Structure 1
Amino acid sequence: MADWLTPEEWQAVALSLRVSLWATAVSLPLGLLVAYALARWTFPGRQLLNGLVHLPLILPPVVTGYLLLLTFGRRGVLGEPLDEWFGIVFAFRWTGAALAAGIMAFPLMVRAIRLSIEAVDPKLEQAAGTLGASRPWVFLTVTLPLILPGIIAGAILAFAKAMGEFGATITFVSNIPGQTQTLPSAIYSFLQVPGGEGTAMKLVLISIAVAMTALFLSEVVARKVAARVGGR
């Protein structure tokens, strides 16, 4: 593949993988917490939280990117204090691309995990509780093993979504080669250049291959984990 791609193209592939991995890893703990809250807890504002989680699915990605710019830009509500106090900058950085990709992929992750939690019979958790187990211990020993296939599926789907994120990312962090130019951004750039269709097609094929591999792994891993948990 190294000979098939130019250094610039390889940079876009490597950056996309880096952004997607970080987006998935950082958002997974929060996704698990939110999914569990929506599936098991009753609290004021539950429907509002559910709406906010799924909002990126229905908003135009450019709108999400613009809101991120207003919030986490250098003069944004959170971006300015983060820059001044901690030296953390998201706008026009690869970290901002990871933030945008993570937010766009978050609804898919939460939905997959939430469905797996809702499929667990609450009586199993209640039975463990009556035996004296604390809630955290019940979650770790009963709930978590049963929902593990959903967690894995959600993480892989989120990774695949993050790999394909374009609108919010290019609005928030622009399209800077070697810094914020991910696979979708690179495809867009090559399509704007006369004769760039061939290069764009190579990157399109890579995108399709990564997405299909992620979906395949999601199914295979989830089934294996489910079979192992069921066997126990």
Structure 2
Amino acid sequence: MNWLGPEEWQAVALSLKVSIWASLLSLPFGIFVAYALARWEFAGKQLLNGLVHLPLILPPVVTGYLLLLAFGTQGALGGFLQQFGIILAFRWTGAALAAAIMGFPLMVRAIRLSIEAVDPKLEQAAATLGANRFWAFATVTLPLILPGVIAGTILAFAKAMGEFGATITFVSNIPGQTQTLPSAIYAFLQVPGGESAALRLVLISVGIAMSALILSELLARRASKRLGGT
């Protein structure tokens, strides 16, 4: 990428870093929440479902502001974490948190649909053979929902790459520290002569997003064929 300047390259590298961490760290929670929504009946289930999907319908700036209130240095959670040296506001880790929250609904929905397509009787059969609930899920359900897990993870990654509103509100737009691809594009468009740099970053964003979607489709198909073959 010789045609990228140092600031542009920093934005690309930081976006990849943030998106990878956001999607991988949210994956265990995504699987758990998707399974709970698909299989369990409990008080507050609809509330949980609403909270999970709330970032999809709220303005991203509102989500970012709520994160700032909760995880800022003056927030309840932020102040608690600060005692352990963990600071999220105006850090790349905060950008990863914001991106994870914005991509979480897409991840959960893809995985939940996959779980609902699996016959619960398969898990019950595993239980009659002595498997506990976790082992039945790990050995029976998880392999069957693998295509959905892959699709959900990559969709969350792609969403994280394009996240702007929540990120810039929570961690600002600091070059080299919190300036992701969308933030860098916005910054370049605010200065005279920055259109060419913005266009280069737009092309990279489109390329990464398309590559993620194609990779998701290929991996999901491969996983489906492998499961079908076994």
Normalising by the smaller structure, the TM-score range is over 0.9
Q: Supply the distance in 1 between the matched residues of 2:120 and 2:79 (Cα, whole angstroms).
A: 44
1:183 aligned to which of 162, 181, 186: 181
After superposition, residues 191-206 of structure 1 pair within 5 angstroms as 191-206=189-204
Alignment identity in percent? 78
- Ranges of 4+ aligned residues in structure 1 off by more than 4 Å: none
2:138 aligned to which of 133, 137, 140: 140
Q: Supply the distance in 1 between the matched residues of 2:184 and 2:38 (Cα, whole angstroms).
A: 39
Tell me the equivalent position of 1:77.
76
1:115 aligned to which of 113, 116, 130: 113
SS of the residue 2:76 aligns to: coil
Alpha-carbon displacement from aligned partner over 1:5-50 (angstroms, at most 9, x marks no partner): 0011000000000000110111000111000000000100000000
1:105 is matched by which residue type in structure 2? G
TM-score of the two chains, using structure 2 as the length reference: 0.99
Tell me the equivalent position of 1:36.
35
Alpha-carbon displacement from aligned partner over 1:79-130 (angstroms, at most 9, x marks no partner): 01111x2010000000000000000000000000000000001111112222
CA-atom RMSD, angstroms?
0.6
Residue 132 (structure 1) shift: 2.1
Alpha-carbon displacement from aligned partner over 1:178-207 (angstroms, at most 9, x marks no partner): 000000000000001112111100000000
Q: Supply the distance in 1 between the matched residues of 2:94 and 2:129 (Cα, whole angstroms).
A: 46
1:42 is matched by which residue type in structure 2? E
TM-score of the two chains, using structure 1 as the length reference: 0.98
Is residue 210 of structure 1 aligned with residue 208 of structure 2? yes
Q: Supply the distance in 1 between the matched residues of 2:57 and 2:92 (Cα, whole angstroms).
A: 24
Tell me the equivalent position of 1:131.
129
Residue 131 (structure 1) shift: 2.1
Identify unmatched segments of 5+ residues in structure 1.
none
Identify unmatched segments of 5+ residues in structure 2.
none
Tell me the equivalent position of 1:166.
164
Tell me the equivalent position of 2:220.
222
Tell me the equivalent position of 2:16.
17
SS of the residue 1:86 aligns to: coil
Q: Supply the distance in 2 between the matched residues of 1:127 and 1:230 (Cα, whole angstroms).
A: 20
1:64 is matched by which residue type in structure 2? T
Is residue 8 of structure 1 aligned with residue 7 of structure 2? yes
Q: Supply the distance in 2 between the matched residues of 1:104 and 1:186 (Cα, whole angstroms).
A: 19
Paired residues, number: 230
